[in-house]
Chains A and B, each alone.
Chain A
Amino acid sequence: MVYSTLQRSQKVLAASRQVHKISAQVLERTAAEETVTSSFASFIHGVQPEHLSEVVRHRSKRMILDSIGVGLVGSTTRVFNIALRYCQLYASNAVSSVYGRKGLKLSPTLAAFTNGIATHSMDFDDTWHPATHPSGAVLPALLAASQMLPPSSKPNGLDFLLAFNVGIEVQGRLMRFSTEAHNIPNRFHPPSVVGTMGSAAATAKLLSLNVTQCAHALAIAASLAGAPMANAATQAKPLHIGNATRLGLEAALLAARGMEASPLILDDIPGCSGFSAFYGDYRPKPLPLPASSHKFLLEKQDVAFKRFPAHLGMHWIVDAAASVRNLLINYSGSFSPSLIRAILLRIPVSKYINRPFPESEHQARHSFQFNACTALLDGEVYLNSFTDGCIHRQELMELLAKVLVEHPEDNIANFDKMYGEVALVLENGDVLTGRCDTFYGHWRKPLSRESLLKKFQSNASHVLPEDKVNSIITTVENLENLSDSSQLASSL
């Protein structure tokens, strides 16, 4: 029923309208040519599988695998449970699968919503540079949409991979419109801004919308974008990804039905903000057309995969803490907290990840202090380091009380440039220091295939049996050969 209405509305094409001057002072543009917005629409519409390079395919498949695993383990969280209970109120047109809930289906946008929330529920999902969490905003929408389409027009694995990359690419391009975007954010949470646009673009691609519809999908999505940073480090943060993927999907579905919005949404129109509303500095650039050899950003800039479920910044400090812990063990034969007078953390300035005494798992995942001390105690940070029991351990609280924070000027709040340093000032005056410039899992030191698979298996096996887990790995690694990509969704 959904698809037939979709088809009908695609046949009734909106008459193309000439872009009109919004005001006499605005530079004249025509829809077909120079606008940034139209270049995006043309790209989304025109890019083909053959534009995907080997490297891009390889990296994006790793991202897909990781994202699924993270989503599967995330389906065991409390926030996921709340969202699921909410969505079950609207259980009709239930065609799309929910991570870790075999047999349960929801309507496409609500499935995307819950799966997006699952993906970000523990802050375990991938991170890019400039900073956002790209895959969680795109994959759930595509999985849900793939199950919406009738058997005769299911996209194959390659179509799916292409659409996924369109969604990632659009996010990366949009973030390069602003220098503000290069640093750890402090106003709007990037996934809720660019993620929504990425989801709209990816869905538009999968549904094969025409150029005009692609443009409108982006514009409609802009009106659904944007969540403030203050909800990061709270239980509501995962909704940012859940909503990005759901609302982007929705925007594309509305555009498919002929909904129209501003044709200049990505352009900079003084006095009347479009996408620029979310940034202090905004300089949009058109995308190169696919006719020339389009270079996907993923080619030049990989993502980072997390080894444990916490904010990316924590990974530097954990590796630094682990190394100084080893130094202390070598120095004194064992790890004895009583030898430590003070723990100095040298970290970049970022208020929302600087928490001396986190009280909840969400806060703990966003606390340099907590992660450093956990790594000092245990040698590494694990999935269950964030349970209530571990958060409130006596020995941990004692260590936390010894922590002092420093912000060296050369430690920039930027995932490409930052470092982490942990210095233990011992009671006898000696100082041991551990430093990490690039943690294992960062794009400069990517996880090996083994490590990535290990993470996936560990995550997925929380809710799926071993044979299912392995078959997903096989499917994703051979995604371009899959004839019906909705099989991926139904295997979850």
Chain B
Amino acid sequence: MGPPAPQRLEEPSEAKGPADHREPDTSRETPMQTLTVTENFANVIHGLKASHLTDLVIQRSKRMILDTLGVGLLGTSTEVFHKVIQYSKIYRSDASSTVWGHSDFRLPPLYAAFVNGVAVHSMDFDDTWHPATHPSGAVLPALLALSEALPQKQKFSGLDLLLAFNVGIEVQGRLMRFSNEASNVPKRFHPPAVVGTIGSAAATAKLLALDQFKCKAALAVAASYAGAPMANAATQTKPLHIGNAARHGLEAACLASLSLQGNKQILDMESGLGAFYTDYTPRFLPTLQSYSWLLDQQDVAIKRFPAHLGTHWVADAASSLRKHLVESDDSVPISRIKRIVVKVPDVRYVNRPFPNSEHEARHSFQFAACSALLDGSISVQSFSDQNISRPELKELLSKTKLEHPADNKPSFDNLYCEVNVTLQDGKVFSERCDTFYGHWRKPLSTEDLKKKFHSNASSVLSVEATEGIIETVDNLEKVEDCFVLSAFLKGTQSTKVLSKMCLS
């Protein structure tokens, strides 16, 4: 039995009395409950402590942190990252924060958060949650950037970082539960741009130890930066949704710490965060006395290759099916294939019969099916220009069509993929995937998670730095000063840095 949803709090109309306070019937509320959902959020953000973190939450969130770092490091080799770097260098100054994988220059925290956030989402390789968003990329870059920017005497322990990180994740999850619309693959606003911005603001407010009023203001100001339309997904601009979420949330919290104020009921009002949803029912958070984190009940999915989550079901089904087709030399006889049918939910922006760029290829059910059929699995390399334009791939694509069975819902918790291949001689093969490896129902093993990180990070960092990050994150709650993490991320290391990893 959770706390009751508050009465809808609207602007005053005919009533007399102070304009600012619309108080619902307080007689049924316990002393711990607050007047508005917004205030409640602010209180919880402010009041959560490290002791509230459970083991499971710690473990899962560390995996997320590790994965996110690896994905971000790899992403620093992308074209989109390169462009935003060029842009952001305009703001180069004597400030202060690390650009992942770059020791040659630094950026002000705002822009470090921006570029690193872009890096994280640049290849669509970052984590995905349910209801659907990419939670970590909106939060981690902001926290790391900020942690380096504050005056010397102020240092943050690994546990501070971990707590703030989880506040940012938790807030995103809670906000998404305010709307039924959020449970399905989105059509209007890209979720990271909506809840990610608020999450980043919450996490930053936590790290800065803002008081309740300023926590509330951070949420309100962040709302005015939130939101980006879906149409830019599957384009080069999509990664900016995460980069901007990180940077704008950070900015909102910084402005709040300078006493800027916004609407104190931002989460309560339909004209507040409700503006981004067609159905909106805000709810209170659990009491701090026994806080239950969403991450405890619902893990994220970690991707095995850099493409939209929906394509992971397709890849697993197609890989299984390939085994029926493969010849002795491990090749697939393309000419023997007459027709490929891929049964997936109806998700327009991942439906691309002939993708023309890496961004489109990462958002194409068809491409995933044909790539996996050809190669047995999909990897980072599958999206190179060369591989995208292979003639054998195009031939397979021309034989592929999608079907949308009525029972296949566009929800990452429920969807499935069935691949049917019909050969010229009439034989039909069929394979189905309900849960791909990496999904929250079938999480990556620790070994495979580390393997993914290794493979990603070593594209820009040395072995020592790569190992250093793995070890630091593994023991994050014991790290005294999370500056070491940023030092490894920069890409140069010395024994001096390694010895600064004070583990108690």
Is B70 among interface residues, defined by CB-CB distance under 8 A?
no
Smallest CB separation, A240 vs chain B (Å) = 6
Is A141 among interface residues, defined by CB-CB distance under 8 A?
no
A342-376 toward B: CB 8 Å interface, digit per residue (1/0)?
00000000011011111100010001000000000
Instruction: Tell me which residues from 296 to 351 in chain A have a Cβ below 8 Å from any Cβ of chain B.
Output: 351
Would you list the 9 A-B pairs with minimal beta carbon distance, nearest first? Answer: A92-B93, A274-B231, A230-B272, A236-B262, A261-B237, A271-B348, A227-B224, A223-B228, A351-B11
Instruction: Tell me which residues from 185 to 241 in chain B have a Cβ below 8 Å from any Cβ of chain A.
Output: 187-190, 193, 220-221, 223-233, 235-237, 240-241
Cα distance, A243 to B348, chains bound together (Å): 31
Is B448 among interface residues, defined by CB-CB distance under 8 A?
no
Give me the interface of B with A, judged by CB distance under 8 Å. Answer: 10-20, 80, 83-84, 86-87, 89-95, 108, 110, 187-190, 193, 220-221, 223-233, 235-237, 240-241, 244, 251, 254-255, 258-263, 265-266, 269-276, 346, 348-349, 351-357, 360
A356 near B236: Cβ-Cβ < 8 Å: no
A218-246 toward B: CB 8 Å interface, digit per residue (1/0)?
01101111111111011110011001000
A223 near B229: Cβ-Cβ < 8 Å: yes
Selected from A230, A257, A275, A405, the residue in CB contact (under 8 A) with B269 is A230
B20 near A356: Cβ-Cβ < 8 Å: no
Smallest CB separation, B359 vs chain A (Å) = 9
Q: Is the interface of A mostly helix, strand, loop or mixed?
A: loop
17 contacts between A and B (CB under 8 A): A5-B89, A9-B86, A22-B348, A90-B108, A186-B271, A226-B275, A228-B266, A228-B275, A230-B269, A239-B221, A253-B90, A259-B87, A274-B231, A277-B231, A354-B13, A357-B16, A363-B20
A21 near B14: Cβ-Cβ < 8 Å: no
Smallest CB separation, B43 vs chain A (Å) = 20
Is A158 among interface residues, defined by CB-CB distance under 8 A?
no
Nearest opposing residue in chain A for B244, CB measure: A224
Cα distance, A367 to B276, chains bound together (Å): 26
Nearest opposing residue in chain A for B109, CB measure: A89
**Which residues does chain A contribute within 8 Å of B273, judged by CB atoms?**
228, 230
Nearest opposing residue in chain B for A264, CB measure: B231
**Which residues does chain B contribute within 8 Å of A253, judged by CB atoms?**
87, 90
Is A27 among interface residues, defined by CB-CB distance under 8 A?
no
A277 near B12: Cβ-Cβ < 8 Å: no
A228 near B356: Cβ-Cβ < 8 Å: no
Evaluate whether A259 and B83 lie within 8 angstroms (CB atoms) in the complex, with A20-B356, A354-B12 already known: yes
A359 near B271: Cβ-Cβ < 8 Å: no
A220 near B348: Cβ-Cβ < 8 Å: no
B230 near A273: Cβ-Cβ < 8 Å: yes
Selected from B90, B193, B226, the residue in CB contact (under 8 A) with A2 is B90
Is A24 among interface residues, defined by CB-CB distance under 8 A?
yes
Evaluate whether A223 and B193 lie within 8 angstroms (CB atoms) in the complex, with A93-B92, A261-B237, A352-B11 already known: yes
Cα distance, A92 to B260, chains bound together (Å): 24
Is A291 among interface residues, defined by CB-CB distance under 8 A?
no
B90 near A359: Cβ-Cβ < 8 Å: no
**Which residues does chain A contribute within 8 Å of B354, judged by CB atoms?**
20-21
**Which residues does chain A contribute within 8 Å of B241, judged by CB atoms?**
223
**Which residues does chain B contribute within 8 Å of A274, judged by CB atoms?**
229-232
Selected from B15, B90, B262, B269, the residue in CB contact (under 8 A) with A356 is B15
Nearest opposing residue in chain A for B13, CB measure: A354
B19 near A359: Cβ-Cβ < 8 Å: yes
Is A68 among interface residues, defined by CB-CB distance under 8 A?
no
Cα distance, A225 to B275, chains bound together (Å): 13
Is A152 among interface residues, defined by CB-CB distance under 8 A?
no
B16 near A229: Cβ-Cβ < 8 Å: no
Nearest opposing residue in chain B for A263, CB measure: B235
**Which residues does chain B contribute within 8 Å of A222, judged by CB atoms?**
228-229, 231-232
A107 near B91: Cβ-Cβ < 8 Å: yes
Selected from A91, A220, A357, A405, the residue in CB contact (under 8 A) with B17 is A357
**Which residues does chain A contribute within 8 Å of B360, judged by CB atoms?**
20
Q: Please count the residue pairs between chain A and chain B whose beta carbons lie under 8 angstroms apart in the complex.
A: 249
Selected from A92, A229, A257, A275, the residue in CB contact (under 8 A) with B91 is A92
Evaluate whether A22 and B262 lie within 8 angstroms (CB atoms) in the complex, with A226-B226, A236-B221, A265-B229 already known: no
**Which residues does chain A contribute within 8 Å of B236, judged by CB atoms?**
259-261
**Which residues does chain A contribute within 8 Å of B91, judged by CB atoms?**
90, 92-93, 107
Is A85 among interface residues, defined by CB-CB distance under 8 A?
yes
**Which residues does chain A contribute within 8 Å of B235, judged by CB atoms?**
219, 260-262
Q: Is the interface of B mostly helix, strand, loop or mixed?
A: loop
**Which residues does chain A contribute within 8 Å of B228, judged by CB atoms?**
222-226
**Which residues does chain A contribute within 8 Å of B274, judged by CB atoms?**
228
Instruction: Tell me which residues from 403 to 444 in chain A have a Cβ below 8 Å from any Cβ of chain B.
Output: 404-405
Q: Choose among A187, A260, A354, A357 the residue with the greatest number of B CB atoms under 10 Å from its CB.
A: A260
**Which residues does chain A contribute within 8 Å of B244, judged by CB atoms?**
223-224
Cα distance, A262 to B241, chains bound together (Å): 13
A454-483 toward B: CB 8 Å interface, digit per residue (1/0)?
000000000000000000000000000000
Cα distance, A306 to B33, chains bound together (Å): 44
**Which residues does chain A contribute within 8 Å of B265, judged by CB atoms?**
230
Smallest CB separation, A84 vs chain B (Å) = 10
A273 near B87: Cβ-Cβ < 8 Å: no
**What 9 new A-B contacts, CB under 8 Å, besides A223-B241, A273-B189, A357-B17?**
A24-B351, A86-B251, A93-B90, A228-B273, A230-B223, A230-B265, A271-B187, A277-B230, A354-B13
B348 near A359: Cβ-Cβ < 8 Å: no
**Which residues does chain A contribute within 8 Å of B230, judged by CB atoms?**
272-274, 277
Is A47 among interface residues, defined by CB-CB distance under 8 A?
no
Instruction: Tell me which residues from 67 to 86 in chain A have a Cβ below 8 Å from any Cβ of chain B.
Output: 79, 82-83, 85-86
Selected from A79, A236, A262, A351, the residue in CB contact (under 8 A) with B237 is A262
Evaluate whether A231 and B223 lie within 8 angstroms (CB atoms) in the complex, with A18-B356, A86-B258 already known: yes
**Which residues does chain A contribute within 8 Å of B254, judged by CB atoms?**
86
Is A23 among interface residues, defined by CB-CB distance under 8 A?
yes
Evaluate whether A234 and B220 lie within 8 angstroms (CB atoms) in the complex, with A186-B271, A354-B13, A357-B17 already known: yes
Instruction: Tell me which residues from 249 to 303 in chain A have a Cβ below 8 Å from any Cβ of chain B.
Output: 250, 253-254, 257-262, 264-265, 269-278
**Which residues does chain A contribute within 8 Å of B90, judged by CB atoms?**
1-2, 93, 107-108, 253
Is A192 among interface residues, defined by CB-CB distance under 8 A?
yes
Selected from A231, A265, A273, A356, the residue in CB contact (under 8 A) with B266 is A231
Cα distance, A224 to B190, chains bound together (Å): 12
**Which residues does chain B contribute within 8 Å of A275, judged by CB atoms?**
229, 231
A356 near B351: Cβ-Cβ < 8 Å: no
Selected from B14, B187, B263, B270, the residue in CB contact (under 8 A) with A234 is B263
B352 near A231: Cβ-Cβ < 8 Å: no
B351 near A22: Cβ-Cβ < 8 Å: yes
Smallest CB separation, B87 vs chain A (Å) = 6
**Which residues does chain A contribute within 8 Å of B17, judged by CB atoms?**
356-357
Cα distance, A255 to B351, chains bound together (Å): 26
A234 near B261: Cβ-Cβ < 8 Å: yes
**Which residues does chain A contribute within 8 Å of B261, judged by CB atoms?**
234-236
Smallest CB separation, B310 vs chain A (Å) = 14
Smallest CB separation, B115 vs chain A (Å) = 12
Smallest CB separation, A6 vs chain B (Å) = 10
Is A17 among interface residues, defined by CB-CB distance under 8 A?
yes
Is A188 among interface residues, defined by CB-CB distance under 8 A?
yes
**Which residues does chain B contribute within 8 Å of A233, judged by CB atoms?**
263
Cα distance, A24 to B403, chains bound together (Å): 12
Evaluate whether A356 and B16 lie within 8 angstroms (CB atoms) in the complex, with A92-B92, A223-B193 already known: yes
Smallest CB separation, A460 vs chain B (Å) = 26
**Which residues does chain B contribute within 8 Å of A405, judged by CB atoms?**
13-14
A219 near B262: Cβ-Cβ < 8 Å: no
Nearest opposing residue in chain B for A18, CB measure: B356
Cα distance, A243 to B233, chains bound together (Å): 22
Nearest opposing residue in chain B for A5, CB measure: B86
**Which residues does chain A contribute within 8 Å of B349, judged by CB atoms?**
22, 271-272
Cα distance, A223 to B353, chains bound together (Å): 25
Selected from B15, B110, B187, B262, the residue in CB contact (under 8 A) with A273 is B187
**Which residues does chain B contribute within 8 Å of A367, judged by CB atoms?**
19
B224 near A243: Cβ-Cβ < 8 Å: yes
Cα distance, A272 to B346, chains bound together (Å): 11
Selected from A93, A219, A273, A355, the residue in CB contact (under 8 A) with B188 is A273
